[in-house]
Structure 1
Amino acid sequence: MIDKLFRPLTGEVTVHMDAPPTVVWDLVSDVTRIGEFSPETFEARWIRGSSGPEVGAQFKGHVRRNGIGPTYWTLCTVTACEPERVFEFAVGNDEVTANNWGYRLEPEAGGTRVTEYFRVQPNLMMRAYWLALGPLRGRTNERGMRTTLERMKAVVES
C-alpha cells in the first residue's frame, strides 16, 4: 500500500515522425488544433489576451472525459515553451494545478522523436485519486496520447 502511494504519477508515449522538428513544433504548440488529434480534448482556444505559445500564455480546453463525458472546460497555462524542443502546460485554476501535459521533441534519423507526457501533481488529493483510479486513468491517458501522436504523425507525414 505504501509503495502505491509513492509510485510516479506520470506517463509518456513516444512516436517517431518523419518530419523536421519545425513542422512538428508548429502542430504541437498550436492548441487550437488539438481537437483534430485528441480523443478527449475536442477544442481549445487562447484566452486572457494570449494568442500563441509562450510561457504564461493561457488557453481553455474543452474536454469530453474518456471520450464520452462528462464534458467541461479546463484552464491551462503554458509553463515551458522552447521552440522545436518542449511545449508544456499546467491544467488547473490560477491557484491549484491538477497536472501538467507536454511534448518533448528531439531530432532523430531525419525526423523527430516526439514524446507526449503527463505529470499529476503529488499533493494529497491527487495521490488519493491516483491510488484509487491511477492504473485505469494511466492506461486511458497512454492510449489517448498514442492516438493523439499517431493522428499528428499522419498529418505531418502527408
Structure 2
Amino acid sequence: MTTSEPLATGEVRIDASPAEVYRLVSDPTVMVDFAEEVYRVRRRGGAGPATVGARFTGTNRNGWRRWTTTCRVTEAEPGRRFAYEVDTPFKVPISRWEYDLRPDGAGCRVTETSWLRVPRWFVPIAIWITGEPDRAAANTANIATTLGRLKAHVEVRARTSRT
C-alpha cells in the first residue's frame, strides 16, 4: 500500500532560522517532547541523530494502546530536510516522515509530511495495534499538534533569550 502521494502534511512558519529549527527536528529524542503519539525515543547504535543511516526506536501510544517502531534516517541535509523511514520491529514497512525547511523572511517555513508504506495485508493489524482506523486524519491532526508545539517552544525560547 505504499503510495507516492503523502498521507498527511502540515506547515507552520516559525520565527527562527532554518538552521536553528533543523537542530530540533533532526533529533528525534528532542522532537518526542512535541509529538502527540510518540512518547519515548531511544537511539540505536553509535551514529548521531542527524546522520543518514542512524537508527532509533520509537515507543508510541494512543489511549491505552502502546507499540514500538524502528526507524532509520534516510535524509539529513542541515537547515533543509530531515527524513526517516519507520518499520515494525519485525521489519514490516510502515511509513516515511519528512521535515522540509525553507527560509521565509527572518524565519522559516517547516513542512512535516508522512507517507504510508505499509503492505495492504498489514493494514487491519496496524488498526488493531494502534486503535486508529483513519490514519490519514490522525496523522494530519498529530502533525498540526507537533508543529504548533515546536513553534511555541522555539518562539518562546527566542523571546526569553532576548529579555
Report the TM-score, using the length of structure 2 for normalisation: 0.81
Equivalent residue, structure 2, for 1:96 = 92
Deviation per CA, 1:30-49, whole angstroms, max 9, x where unpaired?
11112210111012121022
Matches within 5 A, 1:45-84: 45-65=42-62, 68-84=63-79
**Residue 50 (structure 2) pairs with residue 27 (structure 1):** no
Q: Percent identity?
A: 34
Residue from 31, 38, 41 that aligns with 1:41: 38
Q: What letter matches 2:100 in structure 1?
A: R
Distance in 2 separating the partners of 1:26 and 1:75: 21
Question: Number of residue pairs matched?
Answer: 149
Q: 1:24 to 1:136 in 2, by over 3 A?
A: same
Q: 1:126 to 1:110 in 2, by over 3 A?
A: farther
- The Cα shift of 1:96 comes to 3.4
Unmatched tracts of structure 1, length 5 or more: 1-5
Q: More deviation in 115-124 or 35-44?
A: 115-124
Distance in 2 separating the partners of 1:38 and 1:14: 15
Q: What letter matches 2:22 in structure 1?
A: W
Equivalent residue, structure 2, for 1:3 = none
Equivalent residue, structure 1, for 2:152 = 154
Distance in 2 separating the partners of 1:80 and 1:141: 21
Contact 1:120 1:126 in 2 (8 A): no
Report the TM-score, using the length of structure 1 for normalisation: 0.83
Distance in 1 separating the partners of 2:147 and 2:95: 19
Distance in 2 separating the partners of 1:143 and 1:71: 19
Contact 2:53 2:72 in 1 (8 A): yes
Q: CA RMSD in A?
A: 2.5
Q: What letter matches 1:36 in structure 2?
A: D
